[in-house]
């Protein structure tokens, strides 16, 4: 290991240790007796271990007091020792009964009763086994503790998200450069073009299914991509993202690659653009998240398209592409420096077209910083 690797590992280990300690402080303050995670973004946040779940029991237990421990299939042992700073790693082998191991782990940590906070996305099969292993326990969700820790991003997290946003912004430039060449491509071909460029420019994979909503498909906000060919004069909703150092980007532009757009399109695009600007302008410390939604929605309602704005204005972004804080009516939670959220109003006209414009912003001490800053115009 080089000196630099050792330094990085030291810093990384220290970061994860602080996060586990923060979790234990919240547990001791009354949130519960232990946290139980499985392979998830929560586990990645606390330990750095980022594999996908499978049918084998792989759990991470954080008791309110004492040492956190992995309970994992032995085929992961080397990886867990190399990739995490967790000292206590209990393993089990194929052919053994993992539920007995879970029971022993909980008993040894003194948490067979009490209140256990389980990973929000934990598969039912594992929660069933936890219930069997701790029949006297009550259960809550890990997010009751972890979303509060995760919601404000530190400098390294923000740096990763800035870089991921820059990659996506550069790919918007690549799309504009295509111009008329995009006409005749299918949505799937354009999606492959986007994903290739994201990788070439330094991103890792996609942060969600790439959206290429051509013409009437753009009026379905979460249409992915299909075999429909892009035609001249059609608005195309392009919503995509990639990851850098594990952190995602998420941005949308609506472009017309060639030709004259439909009659109402110029007006609709302008309304969405103004709404998006109003939403971004509303972001700042102490502002209730719902005020961001209201600011964008007011513009769209005033233009007579309120019924065509069929979703909230935005969502927080971190290791999960959708997380707290949600910019939605009823969310009175005040924004704080370090929070990252999307501002993404849209107007969707069924059977005609859709328009959405989306940027990520980070809340600062006196307003916000846009992570995406490419042109929002629809012309290439």
Give the footprint of ligand GLY on this chain (CB under 6 A): 208, 239, 250, 315, 342, 344, 358
From the list ligand GLY, Mn ion, none, pick the one residue 157 interacts with, judged by a Cβ distance below 5 to 8 Å according to partner type. none
Tell the smallest beta-carbon distance from residue 142 to Mn ion (Å): 23
Nearer to Mn ion, 226 or 259 (CB): 226
Stretch of 55-63, 177-185, 237-245, 283-291 contacting Mn ion, by CB under 5 A: 237-245
Considering only CA atoms, which of 34, 309, 118, 350 is closest in space to residue 213?
Answer: 350
From the list ligand GLY, Mn ion, none, pick the one residue 119 interacts with, judged by a Cβ distance below 5 to 8 Å according to partner type. none
Is 239 among the residues that bind Mn ion (CB under 5 A)? yes
Stretch of 183-191, 236-244, 277-285, 372-380 contacting Mn ion, by CB under 5 A: 236-244
Tell the smallest beta-carbon distance from residue 345 to Mn ion (Å): 11
Nearer to Mn ion, 239 or 323 (CB): 239
Nearer to ligand GLY, 250 or 324 (CB): 250
Tell the smallest beta-carbon distance from residue 254 to Mn ion (Å): 12
SS (H, E, C) 124-164: HHHHHHHHHHCCCCEEEECHHHHHHHHCCCCHHHHHHHHHH
How many whole angstroms separate alpha carbon 208 and alpha carbon 184? 25
How many whole angstroms separate alpha carbon 34 and alpha carbon 30? 11
Angle, in degrees to the nearest 10, between helices 124-133 and 98-108: 60
| Measured torsion, CA atoms of residues 281, 283, 286, 288, in degrees rounded to the nearest 10 | 110
**What's the angle, vertex CA 162, arms to CA 86 and CA 18, rounded to 5?**
25
Tell the smallest beta-carbon distance from residue 52 to ligand GLY (Å): 20
> Would you state the structure tokens that stand for residue 62, as one six-digit string?
């954080």
Tell the smallest beta-carbon distance from residue 159 to Mn ion (Å): 20
How many whole angstroms separate alpha carbon 19 and alpha carbon 165? 25
Nearer to Mn ion, 48 or 213 (CB): 213
Considering only CA atoms, which of 285, 290, 312, 315 is closest in space to residue 300?
Answer: 312
How many whole angstroms separate alpha carbon 368 and alpha carbon 281? 8
Is 47 among the residues that bind Mn ion (CB under 5 A)? no
Half-sphere exposure of 157 (CA within 13 A, CB side): 18
Nearer to ligand GLY, 57 or 315 (CB): 315
Tell the smallest beta-carbon distance from residue 380 to Mn ion (Å): 20
Tell the smallest beta-carbon distance from residue 214 to ligand GLY (Å): 16
Phi then psi for 366, rounded to 5 degrees?
Answer: -130, 20
Nearer to ligand GLY, 243 or 315 (CB): 315
Tell the smallest beta-carbon distance from residue 211 to ligand GLY (Å): 6
β partners of residue 288: 334
Binding residue for Mn ion, selected from 250, 290, 293, 324, defined by CB under 5 A: 250
Nearer to ligand GLY, 101 or 346 (CB): 346
Nearer to ligand GLY, 205 or 286 (CB): 205
Considering only CA atoms, which of 2, 1, 70 is closest in space to residue 38?
Answer: 70
Tell the smallest beta-carbon distance from residue 220 to ligand GLY (Å): 12
Match 């107007």 to its residue by tokens. 347
From the list ligand GLY, Mn ion, none, pick the one residue 359 interacts with, judged by a Cβ distance below 5 to 8 Å according to partner type. none
Site for Mn ion in 331-350 (CB under 5 A): 342
Long-range contacts of 348-351, Cβ-Cβ distance < 8 Å, separation of 24 or more: 348/218, 348/219, 348/220, 348/221, 348/308, 348/309, 348/310, 349/219, 349/264, 349/268, 349/308, 350/216, 350/219, 351/216, 351/219
From the list Mn ion, ligand GLY, none, pick the one residue 33 interacts with, judged by a Cβ distance below 5 to 8 Å according to partner type. none
Stretch of 88-96, 146-154, 243-251, 327-335 contacting Mn ion, by CB under 5 A: 243-251
Residues forming the site for Mn ion (CB under 5 A): 239, 250, 252, 342, 358
């Amino acid at each position: 290991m080089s000196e630099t690797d050792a330094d990085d590992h030291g810093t990384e280990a220290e970061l994860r240790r602080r996060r586990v300690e923060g979790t234990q402080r919240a547990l001791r303050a009354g949130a519960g007796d232990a946290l139980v995670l499985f392979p998830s973004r929560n586990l990645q946040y606390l330990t750095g271990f980022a594999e996908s779940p499978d049918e084998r029991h792989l759990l991470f237990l954080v008791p309110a007091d004492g040492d956190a421990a992995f309970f994992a299939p032995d085929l992961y042992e080397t990886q867990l020792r190399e990739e995490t700073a967790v000292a206590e790693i209990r393993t089990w082998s194929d052919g053994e009964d993992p539920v007995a191991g879970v029971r022993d782990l909980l008993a040894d940590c003194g948490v067979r009763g009490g209140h256990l906070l389980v990973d929000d996305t934990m598969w039912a099969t594992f929660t069933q086994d936890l219930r069997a292993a701790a029949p006297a326990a009550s259960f809550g969700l890990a997010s009751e503790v972890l979303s509060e820790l995760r919601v404000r991003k530190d400098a390294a997290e923000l740096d990763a998200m800035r870089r991921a946003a820059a990659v996506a912004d550069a790919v918007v430039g690549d799309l504009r450069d295509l111009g008329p060449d995009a006409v005749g491509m299918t949505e799937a071909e354009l999606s492959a073009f986007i994903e290739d460029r994201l990788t070439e420019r330094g991103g890792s994979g996609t942060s969600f299914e790439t959206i290429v909503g051509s013409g009437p498909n753009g009026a379905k906000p979460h249409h992915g991509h299909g075999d429909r060919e892009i035609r001249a004069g059609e608005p195309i909703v392009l919503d995509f993202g990639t990851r850098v150092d594990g952190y995602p980007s998420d941005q949308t532009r609506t472009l017309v690659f060639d030709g004259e757009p439909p009659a109402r399109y110029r007006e609709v695009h302008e309304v969405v653009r103004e709404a998006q600007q109003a939403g971004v302008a509303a972001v700042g410390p102490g502002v209730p998240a719902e005020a961001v939604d209201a600011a964008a929605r007011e513009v769209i309602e005033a233009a007579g398209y309120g019924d065509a704005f069929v979703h909230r204005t935005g969502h927080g972004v971190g290791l999960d592409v959708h997380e707290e804080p949600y910019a939605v009516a009823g969310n009175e939670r005040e924004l704080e420096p370090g929070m990252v959220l999307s501002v993404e109003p849209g107007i969707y006209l069924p059977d005609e077209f859709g328009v959405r414009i989306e940027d990520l912003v980070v809340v600062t001490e006196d307003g916000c910083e846009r992570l995406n800053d490419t042109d929002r115009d629809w012309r290439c």
